[in-house]
Chains A and B, each alone.
Chain A
Amino acid sequence: MIELANVHKRYGRYEEALSGVDLHVDPGEFVFIVGPSGAGKTTLIRLLYREELPTSGTVRVAGKDLSRMRPREVPYFRRQVGVVFQDFKLLPERTVWDNVAFALVVTEVSPKEIRRRVPAVLELVGLRDRARMKAQELSGGEQQRVAIARALVHGPPLLIADEPTGNLDPTTAWEVVQVLVDVNHRGTTVVVASHAKALVDALRRRVVELAAGRVVRDEVRGLYVHEA
């Protein structure tokens, strides 16, 4: 599903944010990306949905070499990758329903199909009864779940989340992670960048640790910090 080979990323003249990253993720996996602030987690994630291109090396996602992709193909690629942002990126004035439907409307899905898919995905994240509320009226955890619903509404084979529990209290964070686990159980590959030690440790999934732009650890059933 994901294949990074000797990936380097440098922003302008700054030091490299990623230096020589190799990473292979199979379909159906659940992967945590951990590491200290500035380690390059967000950079790695940006490469995965082609917000950024690598300075050198290759990034393949869903079978496509993202550096070779023509600009006009990018929108169609993005529909296959659901992305959940730390700051949600919702439209605050619009309702939950509209926020989720938005991703379908702007990708020319028929109204009939929208009426079928939106309730299903809201059900999945447990927000069926919040559909008519405005995004700005929701709690942080609810907003995060709307963001997840929107990322999932295209039925993407890959879901990427950058610190999805960053602003949430432990209970809410746990609920959100449960949604991600649920999604993974239905067959979607999930990649999560996270600082939340408790969650990582509780789930015992694959953990990839970055430090100063390099992969320093990759464990199948890992903890947030390396077991001594």
Chain B
Amino acid sequence: MKLNTWCYMVREAGGNVRRNTLMSTASVGIVAVSLFVLSVFVLLALNVNYLAATLESQVQIQVFLSRSLSTAQTAALRQQVAAVPGVRAVSYISAQAALTQLKREFGRQQDLLSAVEQHNPLRPSLAVQTVNPHQVGAVAAKLKGFQGVRKVTYKAAVVRRLFQVADALHRGGLILAGLLCLATIFIVANSVRLTVFARRHEIGIMKLVGATDALIRWPFLLEGMILGVVGSLIATGVLWESYRLLEQGVQRTIPFLPMLPSYPLMGELAVSLAALGALIGVLGSSLSLRRYLRV
């Protein structure tokens, strides 16, 4: 189609939106709410996922050693562990170092620990890092069998749990958002239907003077698209600001909690929401065109 025709159709679509103020506003609002809810779930899921991934990369295997090992035996064991395939680094933590570390973590309440200082209950250990977080389980199993090893632990369970949470959020969010989007499509359809009804006289004349179906249809499709995209812009704006505030809040109160940085996340989200909004709009208006415009 020609540029002039596109200009004409965009003007018509804009006119439709303006003339039908009440329904247009309602549609835009509902599109915005739906997309906002959808994005909240997506952001939550992404961040939990991110958190899990961050933790996963930090997962290390703690190999607790028998207290009776001599220094030479410990060194030998350490070399043996380092030679296991998949192991990236091994560091030795003596019982004394472990206690110091524990005291540091207890901070001001370290008095509680002075009682045990005489007789250190902690074991020396090896901290083992794997090349790849997924190898943690296999490596740990192998280390369990080594002479002088008393106990092997790692935090993989927590990580796995977090991934599950992210997954559930994703799935639940998608279902809820899917339902919301469906409702939104019907609201947009209703809004466009009102315009079609108000302009049925004009549409009849267009057909009689030889307007093609595409030309009759497009202004209404564009109308739906405008409603969808405007709704998505509002959702993006609110989301952007909320995320920024949340980021600042987290930064201030729980700085060690990893959060996905808003750039480029928000930009990508804005584009996806705009596309989704446009899609909702087009689906909504084609629904009402199919039913109420026999072209």
Contacts and interface: CB of A to CB of B under 8 A. Distances in A.
Interface stretch (B1-9, B20-28, B50-58, B265-273): B1-9
Interface string B189-227: 000000000000110111111111101100000000000
Given A83-B208, A89-B204, A108 B213 contact: no
Contacts of B204: 89
Contacts of A76: 210
Interface stretch (A20-28, A98-106, A190-198, A210-218): A98-106
Contacts of A154: 209-210
A111 B206 CA distance: 18
B191 to A, nearest CB: 22
A110 B4 CA distance: 7
Contact of B211 (A72, A77, A89, A107): A107
Contacts of B206: 102, 106
B287 to A, nearest CB: 21
A105 B202 contact: no
B5 A108 contact: yes
B293 to A, nearest CB: 14
B205 A49 contact: no
Contact of B209 (A72, A103, A110, A111): A103
Q: Indicate the member of B202, B205, B213, B216 with the most A CB atoms within 10 Å.
A: B205
A108 B4 contact: yes
A49 B205 CA distance: 13
Interface string B109-136: 0000000000000000000000000000
Contacts of A91: 201-202, 205
Please name the 5 residue pairs, one residue from A and one from B, whose CB atoms are nearest each other, closest first. A78-B210, A79-B210, A106-B211, A103-B209, A75-B210
Interface of A: 49, 51, 71-72, 75-79, 83, 89, 91, 102-103, 105-108, 110-111, 150, 154
Given A108-B5, A108-B215, A154-B209, 8 more contacts: A78-B208, A91-B201, A102-B205, A102-B209, A103-B209, A108-B4, A110-B2, A154-B210
B158 to A, nearest CB: 62
Contact of A111 (B4, B207, B210, B213): B4
Given A106-B215, A108-B5, A110-B4, A89 B210 contact: no
Nearest to A109: B4
Contact of B2 (A78, A83, A108): A108
A107 B209 contact: yes
A49 B209 contact: no
7 contacts: A83-B208, A89-B201, A106-B211, A107-B211, A107-B212, A108-B5, A154-B209
A205 to B, nearest CB: 25
Nearest to A156: B210
A49 to B, nearest CB: 7
B17 to A, nearest CB: 18
Q: Indicate the member of B4, B208, B210, B216 with the most A CB atoms within 10 Å.
A: B210
Nearest to B204: A89
Contacts of A110: 2, 4
Contact of B213 (A49, A75, A89, A107): A75
Contacts of B1: 108
A76 B211 CA distance: 8
A62 to B, nearest CB: 13
